[in-house]
Amino acid sequence: MIRRLPIIVLCSALATYALATVVQADEGSQYRTDHVDTSVPTTADLRVAYATSQVGTVYDGSTIPWTDTWSGYCDAFAVATVLAGEGNTTPLSSDEVFANALTHYQWALNNNLIHTTPPPPGALVFYDTGTETGHVAVSVEDGLVVTTQGDKGDHYEVAVTSYLNIPGYLGWSWY
């Protein structure tokens, strides 16, 4: 007799998931995946969905209670995107966000989390912009990133551009 058991398959450092059907023989010794349900959104899918939902907005008003704009808060935008990928959309406190994008990058670099290849969808993309704060954006697909614009106090819309259009590419990380 064969039983079909639903399981969650965890893969990669991103901890993405897909539902799979596993066939188990009576002896319990043989497992194989005969179907992967790709309709279940992955962490990267949820990150991309959140980031792209912000395109064209100045700020959605729900994530960082200490401001009314994403301008100047690129790291808060990045952290909000990571949390949305985990299904968490509660407002951020200031202690959940790095001081700036370069501080976030340095933390990721020190923890061996930085890659210098083209960024995959859902990754955080870091830049040395020649300022003390740097910049971070969110990769969505085909070499594009969703990015905040401007400095604190500005009210620019979140936009989409090529990850190579922003100067000073340093690399990407899942965190």
Q: For the chain, list the domains and their CATH numbers.
A: 3-37 (no CATH), 43-173 (3.90.1720.10)
Q: Give the Cα separation of 46 and 120 in Å (integer).
A: 13
Q: Give the Cα separation of 120 and 143 in Å (integer).
A: 8
Q: Give the Cα separation of 26 and 158 in Å (integer).
A: 55
| pLDDT tens over the chain, length 175 residues | 333 333 332 222 233 333 333 333 344 434 333 444 445 568 899 999 989 998 998 876 566 666 667 778 899 888 888 888 888 766 666 666 788 999 999 999 999 999 999 999 999 999 999 999 999 999 999 999 999 988 877 778 899 999 999 999 999 999 8
Pairing of strands 144-147, 159-162: antiparallel
**Amino acid at residue number 1:** M
Q: Give the pLDDT confidence score for residue 25 in this predicted structure.
A: 36
Q: Which pTM does this prediction carry?
A: 0.73
Residues 164/82, Cβ–Cβ less than 8 Å: no
Residues 122/47, Cβ–Cβ less than 8 Å: yes
